[in-house]
Each structure stands twice: as structure tokens, then as C-alpha cells.
Structure 1
Amino acid sequence: MDYEDDQMCFVCGTQNGDGLHLDFELIGVDRIRTEFTPSKKFQGWKDVLHGGLIATILDEVMVNGAYLRQIMAVTTKLEIRLRRPAAIGERLIFYGQILKKNTRTVNMKAWAEREDGTIVAEATGLLMMMKVRG
């Protein structure tokens, strides 16, 4: 399979009309950050953000943490712990961090916080580096 960025990614693609259009900011040599304030269309239970969307953003934070550092990789393993519910309309801050980089893999962690620093969810991931055609 060839991997090509056509800007249609659900989380960060600028051309995806149904996407989240999140922007990512590199922090230091190993971290990344983004923010998301969910609207009601992303709820699971009434006024609670769907956990699957949190998982999706955590995955994307990890992949973009590598990608924006010129490491082309895809997720091969993802473990998530949803610690607290996130409310619809509540701004969440997502962080990712490279833990270890080998010749073929990248170990990452990511987490989501409320504005007061309370952790809502945590994830670890194993990314496999890939070749990208241009």
C-alpha cells in the first residue's frame, strides 16, 4: 500500500469538510500539542464526549508527533485508558511525547487534559516507520 497525504485526514486534513481540522504545535524536541472543544455532534452519552473520538485524537497526536519531525510512521499498537468523562463544550488539551525511537519503530505516549490540568485520558502507542512515495 502506498501512503500519500491528500489532506483528507479526519483529524487534521484541511480538505475534509467533515473533519476536525486540528492544528498541531511542536514543543521542544519530543512533544506535540493540540486543542479541541467538542460540540454536541461528538457526544456519546448526553453532554459527554464519545470515548472513541478521544481515542482517535490521541492516536493522531502520536502520529503527528512523529510526522512533524519527518518520521513517517503508522500506528501498529494503541492502548488507551479513559480516566474521566469529558464534557461537551469543555476545551481539552492533547499532548504527545516520543518516548523512544529505534531504527524501525517509535514508542509514544499521549494524554488529554482539562484546562485545570486534570487528566481525562492517556495512551501509549507503537508506531512503525514506513517509506512514503512522493
Structure 2
Amino acid sequence: MKNKLEDDKHCFACGEKNPNGLNLKFSLRDGKVFAEFILHKTYQGYKDIVHGGIISTLLDEAMVKVALLQGVPVVTAEITVRLKNPLMIGEKAIVEAHITEKHRRIIETSAIIKKLDGTLIAEGYAKLLRQD
């Protein structure tokens, strides 16, 4: 039996009631999700650089959100992240994700984070397990 997935608005990545979270706001357009963001020092690793774990969280959230916003409840089963360039604290960036393949129980997705000038920060790939 699968757990019932409930959104109580306290998700670390997108929860509007989480004062310590990332508070991402996603929009769905043409089968892709997008969210612009700026991160402050709370989320840094090395001086003035966003922590790699936060970058991974952003990618994971976008890949799950692309399925959720299309009515498919999922959880992450497997994720691969490739960090390409540092993202500086206070720098505006965008995360985007789309579904690459659908199987009976698994949905495959990919995501990128890029600066507004197009510089690639990171890319991710995930296999999501359907919960419906």
C-alpha cells in the first residue's frame, strides 16, 4: 500500500508556509516547469557560492513538480546530478524540467539550472515512481 501524499505547504523547496525554505514558485508551460529564484547566504557552501546540495534539491523539486502539475503524483526513486558551474549567492537563475519518458510505473525527467545569461549551472536526470 502506498502512502497518501499530502501537501501541507511546508515543503522545504516549494512550501509557502516554510519560513526557512526555498519558497519556489513553479509555472507549467508547454509541458515544462519553470521557477526563477535568488538564494541568500543561508544556502551557501563555500564563501558566496550556493551549496551543491541546494542545487540538487532545486533540480529534484523541478523534476517532481513537472509530473505533479500534470496530475501525476510521484516520488523520486533515482536522481543523477551533474554540477557544471558555480552559482553565486544573490545571483538570479532559473530551474526548468520536463518529462522525457513515461512508463507504466516510472516517469523519467530531466532538468537544468541556468543563469539568466544562459550559463549552465547544473543538470539532473531522475526516475520518478508513480504513486497513483
- What's the TM-score, normalizing by structure 2? 0.95
Question: Does residue 115 of structure 2 align to residue 114 of structure 1?
Answer: yes
Query: 2:27, 2:56 → 1: CA distance?
Result: 19
Match of 1:20 in 2: 22
Give the drift of 1:6.
1.1
Moved more, 15-24 or 112-121: 15-24
Question: How many Å apart are 1:99 and its aligned residue?
Answer: 0.3
**Aligned amino acid, residue 122 of structure 2:** A
Give the aligned partner of residue 78 of structure 2. 77
Range that drifts further, 66-75 or 2-11 = 2-11
Amino acid at match of 1:25: S
SS at match of 2:8: coil
Which segments of structure 1 move beyond 2 Å, counting only runs of 4 or more? none
1:124 Cα offset (Å): 0.2
Cα RMSD over matched residues?
Answer: 0.9
Aligned partner of 2:95 in structure 1 is 94
**C-alpha deviation, 1:2, in angstroms:** 2.9
User: How much does 1:125 deviate?
Assistant: 0.2
Residue identity matched to 2:57? T
Q: Tell me how many residue pairs correspond in the alignment.
A: 130
Deviation string, structure 1 residues 35-62 (Cα, Å, up to 9, x no partner):
1111111110001000100100100000
State, as a whole percentage, how many aligned pairs show the same letter.
39
Match in the other structure for 1:2? 4
